[in-house]
Amino acid sequence: MRDDAQLLTLAQWLSPAYPVGGFAYSHGLESAVRAGWIADAGGLETWLEDVLEHGSGRADAIWLHLAHRCADGDDLMALDDEARAFAPARERLREGARQGAAFARTTGEVWGLDLPDLLLPLALGRAARLMGMAPGPVAALYLHAFAGNLVAAAQRLMPMGQTAAQRVLAGLTPLCAAVAEATATADLDDIASTAFLSDVAAMTHETLEPRIFQS
């Protein structure tokens, strides 16, 4: 029963309805679509596979695991400082910081958790530790929610119907689980990103006009 309750709590935290404002961010996807780097569902799935396996998705999963391991508050804040320093673009940093602060505020008030303002994956990892949740499922569901938010953003940026969008997300589901498992024992030395075009898209979004999303 405890596991079921934890799963439902985690589903609530990672629901699109949870008030972190994820709908406002495209993670550079808007720039990529505008540049013609992504033009259809197949291209979107390939792009997101790279982000999850080699880019910010993988890095976020590592930060989440590291935050979950932190027993000391000072170590946690130092880890957050390091995570912020790794952000490849100003908008990526703002995206993680604003969503993390919103998550910490709401989660702290509803569940009575002592959560400082942290980047989103660290805030989630810390909350999961305080609630006694195992980090593996948390990381997997975080990555799935992350991918789902970007698929939803893509639907507003290019011609792609609901069925095609859900097919893309279903195709990414096994990868979300695999990346969560592969990063379970990772440490700071494993933080890296080779999804270079995704990072470039995040950088160029800062000067994109007109635009719909904040990143």
- 213 located within any domain: no
48 pLDDT more than 60? yes
Predicted pLDDT of residue 74: 80
What the block records as the tokens of 199 is 């990072």
135 pLDDT more than 70? yes
- pLDDT band of 144, cuts 50, 70, 90: very high
94 pLDDT more than 70? yes
- 212 located within any domain: no
140 pLDDT more than 50? yes
Judge contact between 133 and 10, C-beta under 8 A.
yes
205 pLDDT more than 80? yes
- 10 located within any domain: no
Predicted pLDDT of residue 73: 79
The rounded distance, in Å, linking the Cα atoms of 35 and 4 is: 44
82 pLDDT more than 90? yes
Listed as own residue / partner, the contacts of 187-190 with beta carbons closer than 8 Å and 24 or more positions apart are 187/62, 187/66, 188/66, 188/82, 190/62
**73-87: average pLDDT:** 94
Total structural domains in the chain? 1
- 18 located within any domain: no
What the block records as the tokens of 83 is 């995570």
- 215 located within any domain: no
The rounded distance, in Å, linking the Cα atoms of 68 and 95 is: 21
The rounded distance, in Å, linking the Cα atoms of 131 and 123 is: 12
- pLDDT band of 71, cuts 50, 70, 90: confident
- The one-character DSSP state at 167 is H
Calculate the alpha carbon distances from 23 to 36, 149, 196 in Å.
Answer: 22, 7, 23
Mean of per-residue pLDDT scores for the chain:
95
Helix axes 162-182, 135-157, angle to 10 degrees: 150
Q: Assign residue 169 the CATH number of its domain.
A: 1.10.4190.10
38 pLDDT more than 80? yes
Predicted pLDDT of residue 1: 41
- The count of other CB atoms within 10 Å of the CB of residue 17 is 6
- pLDDT band of 2, cuts 50, 70, 90: low
3 pLDDT more than 80? no
Q: Which domain holds residue 183?
A: 23-206
- 118 located within any domain: yes
Residue type, 89: A
57 pLDDT more than 60? yes
The rounded distance, in Å, linking the Cα atoms of 131 and 126 is: 9
Q: Longest Cα pair distance anywhere in the chain, in angstroms?
A: 50
- pLDDT band of 168, cuts 50, 70, 90: very high
- 15 located within any domain: no
164 pLDDT more than 60? yes
